[in-house]
């Protein structure tokens, strides 16, 4: 069994949104380990937040399973180019789509550009997220609260609304929720609130799209070692990140990717409206 890094981690802090290239230890997105078996052969996937972390791991796994991908990201161009390199090394195409999904127009453009390039969307992964840490309610700026909702849940609604007309029966939508939807961390109040909204949005959308044959599920990761952590949490939280889980460590992005592959594949043809925890042992009930 492969051994993954265990805290304490070196003290480190980055500006938002964070860069994977500067993290220590370097996150494992499956670059050297994920092996595909053709489970997504011929599919087209759009992945938001695909430049690094969970999004990169999903992009690599999807490509090695046979999918062409489009990757939406903010402005982390070097990280995005690295993800594209791994996708292309797998023999698949990768479309890079930089920009801020907090804006409605950009959400619709992501879908339009993906469809213009590939002709359709078979798998939509809404993974991009924003968070900030605050110890007091009064410290949360109004504009930051609104931006958290715009990125984490409103963009998800807008992208789904734009994408569904280009998705055929058998397609899959996968939304990234969080263990915070079950056990909200008080210092991540805005983020945790949006993650609860994502869980409900997913469950409702699955029922709404069932007659179209489009499946909708969510994944609820626990503490996963990604750039979002070193860009938005306190240095003490970073040093001990994931230590409180039953497994005693954070998950690596590569450990989350397989559930996205399963939910994207035709093997999950009767799976919709569900939430899947990847939490290092912390229960989601």
pLDDT of residue 2: 86
Residue 235: what pLDDT?
93
Q: Give DSSP secondary structure letters for 220-237.
A: EE-SB--HHHHHHS-HHH
Residue 3 lies in a domain: no
Q: Is residue 11 part of a domain?
A: no
Q: What is the pLDDT of residue 284?
A: 87
26 a catalytic residue: no
Q: Which domain holds residue 187?
A: 38-275
Q: Confirm whether 23 is domain-assigned.
A: no
Q: How far apart are CA 237 and CA 103, in angstroms?
A: 31
Q: Are 15 and 231 in contact (CB under 8 A)?
A: yes
Q: Is residue 230 part of a domain?
A: yes
Look at residue 74 in the predicted model and tell me its pLDDT: 96
17 in any annotated domain: no
CATH code of the domain covering residue 191: 3.40.50.720
In a domain, 152, yes or no: yes
| Candidates 73, 191, 260, 276; catalytic one | 191
Overall domain count for the chain: 1
Identify the segments of the chain with pLDDT beneath 50. none
Q: Is residue 283 part of a domain?
A: no
At residue 270, the pLDDT reads 98
285 assigned to some structural domain: no
The two three-digit tokens of residue 194, written as one number: 């949006």
- Please give the Cα distance from 151 to 155 (Å, whole number): 5
């Amino acid at each position: 069994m492969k051994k993954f890094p265990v805290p304490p981690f070196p003290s480190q802090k980055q500006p938002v949104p964070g860069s994977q290239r500067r993290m220590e230890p370097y996150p494992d997105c499956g670059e050297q380990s994920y092996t595909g078996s053709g489970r997504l052969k011929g599919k087209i996937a759009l992945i938001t937040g695909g430049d690094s972390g969970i999004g990169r791991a999903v992009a690599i796994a999807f490509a090695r399973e046979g999918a062409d991908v489009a990757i939406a990201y903010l402005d982390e161009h070097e990280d995005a180019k690295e993800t594209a390199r791994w996708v292309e090394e797998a023999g698949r195409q990768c479309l890079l789509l930089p920009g801020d999904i907090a804006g409605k127009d950009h959400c619709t453009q992501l879908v339009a550009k993906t469809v213009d390039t590939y002709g359709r969307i078979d798998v939509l992964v809404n993974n991009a997220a924003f968070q900030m840490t605050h110890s007091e309610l009064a410290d949360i700026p109004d504009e930051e609260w609104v931006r958290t909702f715009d990125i984490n849940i409103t963009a998800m609604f807008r992208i789904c609304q734009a994408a569904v007309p280009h998705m055929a029966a058998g397609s899959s939508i996968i939304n990234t929720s969080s263990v915070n939807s079950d056990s909200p961390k008080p210092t991540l109040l805005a983020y945790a609130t949006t993650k609860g909204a994502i869980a409900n949005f997913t469950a409702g959308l699955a029922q709404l799209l069932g007659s179209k044959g489009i499946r909708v599920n969510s994944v609820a990761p626990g503490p996963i070692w990604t750039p979002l952590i070193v860009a938005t949490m306190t240095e003490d939280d970073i040093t001990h990140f994931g230590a409180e889980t039953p497994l005693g460590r954070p998950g690596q992005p590569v450990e989350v990717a397989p559930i996205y592959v399963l939910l994207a594949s035709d093997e999950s043809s009767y799976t919709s409206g569900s939430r899947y925890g990847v939490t290092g042992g912390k229960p989601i009930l």
